[in-house]
Amino acid sequence: MTSQSEWTARPKRVVVVGNSGAGKSRLSALLGERWGLPVVYLDPLFWGPGWVQPEMAEWRRRVADAVAADTWVVDGNYGSTFDLRLPRADLVVWVDPLPVVCAYQAVRRWLATV
């Protein structure tokens, strides 16, 4: 049986996933700040200069290194690394706002770059 303290314990490893523009990065930052956890953003680990993608083995090594730590909030989808992240997570959060929210955030982010 699970004790009450196990249900109320603060998670040490959190995975935040959801559509582009859903608010994953903002929520990850808030959770990291609130719970004192380092935040790992997968986009900067994945994309190299000039938007070059890494080789799969290198990409998986980067993620494996990041989630080897005892505590973290990992922000990002990248299904190719779910097997590295999800088994270690204490909590998985799926951010699922209305599609119009995702579209608005994506356009807003794009406009900030032009």
- Which residues, including other chains, have CB under 8 Å from residue 105's CB and lie 6 or more apart? 21, 22, 23
- Tens of pLDDT, residue by residue over 39-69, are 999 999 999 899 899 999 999 999 999 999 9
Domain ranges of the chain: 10-113
More confident residue, 86 or 4: 86
What pLDDT sits at residue 34? Answer: 94
Does position 1 have pLDDT exceeding 60, yes or no?
no
Which of the two residues, 49 and 4, has the higher pLDDT score? 49
Helix (H, G, I), strand (E, B) or coil at 16: strand
What pLDDT digit, counting tens, does each position of 5-34 carry?
666 678 999 999 998 777 899 999 999 999
Question: Would you say domain 10-113 falls under CATH 2.40.40.20?
Answer: no
Q: What is the pLDDT of residue 6?
A: 62
- The whole-angstrom separation of Cα 36 and Cα 70 is 12
What residue has token string 């040490």? 12
